[in-house]
Chain A
């Protein structure tokens, strides 16, 4: 690889920022949709509760309740009960989304932290829920020790690999995420059942600007940045692919962070 293809630390940081910004727009659109569902539900239910209250006020206004009105009161109470139950689900959904977003961005955590890899993958999956509609995600999680790393960067790698997997399966398919520990390292494998990578492209997929998705800003940096991040963690990233049946990316990360030692 030539000199210009290996960014220095500053260029690396800029490239990471650029790629994060490129995915940000898409993430925001996806999250807006995910939040719109519970929001629409709460909005409608709020209106129904107001109507229900009005009904009860009208019935109770003349202080004499007829048997028919009593039936109506019971019907309204049943509706309110059902609505409150649905509201619980909607609020829980929104809280989970915000929690995933916070965890993905590690907004309240140190730059280097000891983290649960599965938590990072799950948060990334939650944020990409909209993007991953129509795709089956299978998790085969092993028992992993918590690892010391830049969680924000590692989550960025998960996002890049999951998005690549999604884009390799335009008509849907299965993404399988497997994790395991071996010696001083943990391993994460993200496989898809997509179009695969032609042999002629295999040597170039980690090059800057290499993309099969057109010339959009920030495209063609995902795998390069992923590899750089993994390199900085003294880990490794490997790819296997069979055109027509899918690709599989395997990451290894040391449990103890030792910076970009040797890189």
Chain B
């Protein structure tokens, strides 16, 4: 199944450059947004594997956007793209948005490709882990029920 990468940048030129690269060099499905609010609305409807968001956006900054994205899709890998790296915001990004990677502009395409590939793998592993934990929890509930029924039958 094709992985989905969501790009969110108020600057269409950056989002278009990233999309051109990903479409040429990868088989990922790319969703591009210049409005964080629209990106969140889409995220509410469908899961994506990786989100790359710009930091400085006028309507909603990238950290706030990724924090909300985390609430909607906790298993999605979140990457912040920034032209304005400072320590305070980096710490805020890691703590608030549970960031996977903090990427500075101008970015390196080859590095970006590797980060995205690892990010997709990470999301897939988390999703699998989540499914296994759910299955275990379900099995555990069933076992408890069975034990209760057994006790009821024989005691």
Q: Say yes or no for B95: interface residue by CB 8 A criterion.
A: no
In whole angstroms, what is the CA distance A55 to B16 when docked?
20
Taken residue by residue from 6 to 43, chain B's Cβ proximity to chain A (1 for < 8 Å, 0 otherwise) reads as 00000111101110110111000000000000000000
Interface residues on B, range: 20 to 34
A44 to B84, CA, bound (A): 18
Task: Check A40–B20 contact: CB distance below 8 A.
Answer: no
Give which listed residue, A47, A76, A90, contacts B21 with CB less than 8 A: A47
* A48 x B56 contact (CB < 8 A): no
Is the Cβ of B106 less than 8 Å from the Cβ of A86? no
Task: Say which residue of A48, A51, A76, A86 sits within 8 Å of B13 (CB atoms).
Answer: A86
What 0/1 pattern do residues 70 to 107 of A give for CB contact below 8 A with B?
Answer: 00000110010011001001100100000000000000
Cβ of A17 under 8 Å from chain B? no
Given A37-B11, A37-B83, A47-B109: A82 and B16 interface contact (C-beta under 8 Å)? yes
Quick one: closest A residue to B106, CB to CB? A40
With A33-B56, A33-B84: A86-B24 Cβ-Cβ less than 8 Å: no
> A133 — which chain B residues lie within 8 A by C-beta?
56, 58
Residue of B12, B20, B106 touching A43 (CB-CB under 8 A): B106
With beta carbons under 8 angstroms apart, the residue of B14, B24, B25, B56 that contacts A41 is B14
Asked if A45 is at the interface (CB within 8 A of a chain B CB), the reply is: yes
Q: For A51, list chain B residues within 8 Å (CB).
A: 24-25
Given contacts A86-B16, A89-B13, 20 further A-B contacts (CB under 8 A): A33-B56, A33-B83, A36-B105, A36-B106, A37-B83, A39-B105, A39-B106, A40-B14, A40-B105, A41-B11, A41-B13, A41-B17, A44-B17, A44-B18, A44-B21, A55-B24, A79-B20, A83-B20, A86-B17, A133-B58
B positions within 8 Å CB-CB of A: 11-14, 16-18, 20-21, 23-25, 56, 58, 83-84, 105-107, 109
| Chain A 10-34 interface mask (CB, 8 Å, partner B; 1/0) | 0000000000000000000000010
CA distance A36 to B20 in the complex (A): 19
- Chain A's nearest CB lies how many Å from the CB of B36? 13
Contacts of A76 in B (CB 8 A): 24
- Tell me which residues across on chain A come within 8 A of B58, comparing CB atoms: 133-134
Task: Give the secondary structure class of A's interface.
Answer: helix
- Asked if residues B16 and A40 are in contact (CB atoms below 8 Å), the reply is no
Of B20, B23, B84, which is within 8 A of A86 by CB? B20
- Complex A-B: 16 CB contacts under 8 Å: A36-B105, A37-B13, A37-B105, A40-B106, A41-B11, A44-B21, A44-B106, A48-B17, A48-B21, A52-B24, A76-B24, A82-B20, A83-B17, A86-B17, A86-B20, A93-B13
Determine if A38 is an interface residue (Cβ-Cβ < 8 Å).
yes
Task: Decide: B83 and A48 in contact? CB cutoff 8 A.
Answer: no
CA distance A151 to B123 in the complex (A): 56
Given A33-B84, A40-B83, A90 and B106 contact (CB-CB distance below 8 Å)? no
Q: Which residue of A lies closest to B25 (CB)?
A: A51
Residues on the A chain within 8 Å of B24, using CB: 48, 51-52, 55, 75-76, 79
Q: How far, in angstroms, from A40 to B17 measured CA to CA in the complex? A: 9
User: For residue B110, which residue of chain A has the nearest CB?
Assistant: A47
Contacts of B17 in A (CB 8 A): 40-41, 44-45, 48, 83, 86
Cα(A8)–Cα(B16), bound, Å = 55
Give Cα A37–Cα B106 distance, bound, in whole angstroms: 8
